[in-house]
Structure formats: C-alpha cells, structure tokens
C-alpha cells in the first residue's frame, strides 16, 4: 500500500471520531461540567478562605484558580481518554471494531490512528475550557496558551494509551464504569492537580511518594509549566516514558495471538 492510503485511513478515523464527538453532545458537556464545577465552586471557596495562597514552581504568587487550572486541564484529558477507550469496548461488542481490525492496514497503525484521533478531540475540549476560564479571570500568558499545545498532545496520547490498554483488558461494557472510577479518581487525587507536591509532602511522605510516581502528576506538571512558556524536562521525560509503556501494553493487549484478546476469545 502507498503512503497516501495510510493518510486516507488516518483521515477516515479522524473524521469518524470527530463526527462521533459532534453527535454525542452529552459527552462534550460532561467533559466540561466536571472541571468547570471545580473551577467555579471548589476553587472559589479556597480563594475566599486563602486569598492569594500557594506558591507555584515559578516563585510568584497566583490565585488558587490559576494553580488548579492545569490540573483541571489534565482532568479533561484523562476523562476524554477513558471515554475514547469506552467507545473501543462498545465497538468491540457491536462488532464494528472487527471490521476495522480486518482491514489491510497494520493493527498498530489502526490503534495509533485511533489514539491520535482521541487526543485531538480531547485537546479541542481543553481549549474550549481555557476560553471559558479566560472569561472567569484565569488568564495565562497568550504565548503559553499556544506553547501548551505540544504538552496537551503528549499528555492526551499518554492518558489515551492508558485507556486503550484498559479497553483491551475489559471484557464487557458494563464493567468499564467501575474500572474507570478505580483508575480515574486515584490518579487524580493522588497527584499535584489540586495541591503542590511540597504541601503534600508536609502532610504525608507516603502520599508524596505516590504522587511523585503517578503518571498523571507528570502530565499536570508538564502542562502547568508549558502554560507559562516553560519546560519541565523531568515531567516531559516521565510522560514520554509512560506513553511508550502504555502504548506497548495496548498493542500487546490487542494482539490476537499474544495479548488479552487471545484470552477473551479462549474464554
């Protein structure tokens, strides 16, 4: 097959995910409601109590809303990655994924295309959230809003790859909600999304160690620095490494000869 055939395949998957996103409006609003509730209610409460509160890594004082915005952005990417993997489980049960997998394109390319499409949909949701937050008064530097794009893509790919791996493990659609809660909430709360790591270390050394090795923390810190036109090289390395591990695990899981799909078919 020619390179143009691969491009057409990618465009087809991108178009399919885009149409699914447009037709599932509840998915769009659901992805925005959660972070907006945290921003408007939870953060506003902290602001009224603390005023100008915590110190970010840039050694300048900012309001609590501005501090948690990167965590809420990462929350959107996390939920979007899980929703994308949920669609994989649904497609597998409905049989439409089988039609995709029997195409002449390599399985790894099809999964990677699905992952890229889900990441782009998640980033669109993030920028809509940032636009709403801008009118709320949370206004990162305009240059940072542009430079954060690579960090968003990389983080979305990493979290989407995690969801892709989970979708290869889950056998039935009704079991996915429980697994999502088991993964999402520990990852979110055991991270630096809401509080800086040094505050967590003052509270619990064990929790601090858990947060440090949480891939979601690396995504949050990568986005947080990128919003202010800086690069957290350690977070960049962590997110890239986690993406590679999750992606390899997902490819293995969807390999009918070796991965989880073999066990499902055998069961």
CB count within 10 Å of CB 258 equals 12
Six token digits for residue 10: 């990618």
What is the rounded CA–CA span in Å between residue 228 and residue 141?
Answer: 6
Report the distance separating Cα 56 and Cα 71, nearest Å: 13
If 0-12 CB within 10 Å is exposed, 13-18 middle and 19+ buried, where does residue 55 land?
Answer: middle
Sequence-distant (≥ 6) Cβ neighbours of residue 151 within 8 angstroms:
222, 223, 225, 226, 236
At residue 246, the pLDDT reads 94
Report yes or no: 168 and 260 within 8 Å, Cβ to Cβ. yes
* Confidence tier at 53 by pLDDT (50, 70, 90): very low
Q: Which of residues 260 and 85 earns the better pLDDT score?
A: 85
List pLDDT tens digits, range 187-231: 988 998 887 888 788 888 899 999 999 999 999 999 999 998 899
Alpha-carbon distance of 208 to 223, in angstroms, equals 20
Mean pLDDT of 149-169: 91
Give the mean pLDDT of 229-240. 94
What interhelical angle do 64-94 and 25-37 show, nearest 10? Answer: 150
57-85 as b/e, with b when 16 or more CB fall inside 10 Å? eeeeebbbbbbbbbbbbbbbbbbbbbbbb
Q: Does the pLDDT at position 55 exceed 50?
A: no
DSSP designation for 106: -
Q: Among 94-103, 182-191, 230-239, which is the least confidently predicted range?
A: 94-103
Lowest-confidence segment of 84-88, 149-153, 154-158 by average pLDDT = 84-88
Gap between the Cα atoms of 130 and 138, Å rounded:
8
Residue range 131-139: mean pLDDT, rounded: 81
Residue 137's Cβ-side half-sphere holds a number of Cα atoms within 13 Å equal to 9
Of 66-80, 88-102, 138-152, 194-208, least confident by mean pLDDT is 88-102
Taking only Cα atoms into account, the Rg of the chain, rounded to an integer number of angstroms, comes to 19
What's the pLDDT score for residue 232?
A: 93
| Banded model confidence at residue 102, pLDDT cuts 50, 70, 90 | low
Of 115, 117, 134, residue with least CA distance to 39: 134
At 253, list the tokens.
């899981």
Residue 258 confidence (pLDDT) above 60 = no
* pTM higher than the cut 0.85: no
Predicted confidence at residue 240, as pLDDT, reads 96
What average pLDDT does range 223-248 have in this prediction? 93
């Amino acid at each position: 097959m020619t390179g143009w055939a691969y491009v057409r395949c990618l465009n087809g998957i991108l178009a399919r995910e885009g149409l699914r996103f447009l037709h599932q409006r509840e998915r769009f609003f659901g992805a925005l409601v959660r972070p907006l509730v945290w921003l408007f209610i939870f953060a506003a409460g902290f602001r009224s109590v603390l005023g100008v509160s915590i110190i970010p890594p840039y050694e300048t004082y900012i309001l609590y809303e501005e501090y948690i915005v990167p965590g809420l952005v990462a929350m959107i990417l996390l939920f979007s990655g899980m929703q994308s993997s949920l669609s994989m489980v649904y497609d597998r049960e409905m049989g439409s994924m089988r039609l995709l997998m029997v195409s002449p394109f390599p399985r790894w390319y099809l999964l990677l295309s699905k992952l890229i499409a889900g990441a782009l949909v998640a980033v669109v949701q993030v920028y809509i959230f940032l636009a709403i937050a801008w009118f709320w008064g949370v206004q990162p530097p305009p240059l940072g809003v542009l430079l954060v794009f690579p960090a968003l893509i990389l983080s979305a790919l990493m979290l989407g790859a995690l969801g892709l791996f989970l979708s290869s493990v889950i056998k039935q659609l009704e079991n996915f909600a429980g697994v999502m809660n088991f993964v999402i909430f520990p990852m979110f709360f055991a991270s630096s999304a809401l509080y800086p790591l040094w505050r967590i270390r003052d509270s619990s050394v064990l929790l601090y160690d858990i947060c440090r090795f949480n891939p979601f923390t690396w995504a949050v810190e990568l986005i947080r620095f990128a919003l202010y036109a800086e690069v957290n090289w350690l977070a960049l390395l962590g997110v890239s490494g986690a993406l590679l591990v999750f992606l390899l695990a997902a490819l293995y899981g969807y390999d009918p000869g070796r991965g989880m799909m073999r066990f499902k078919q055998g069961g």
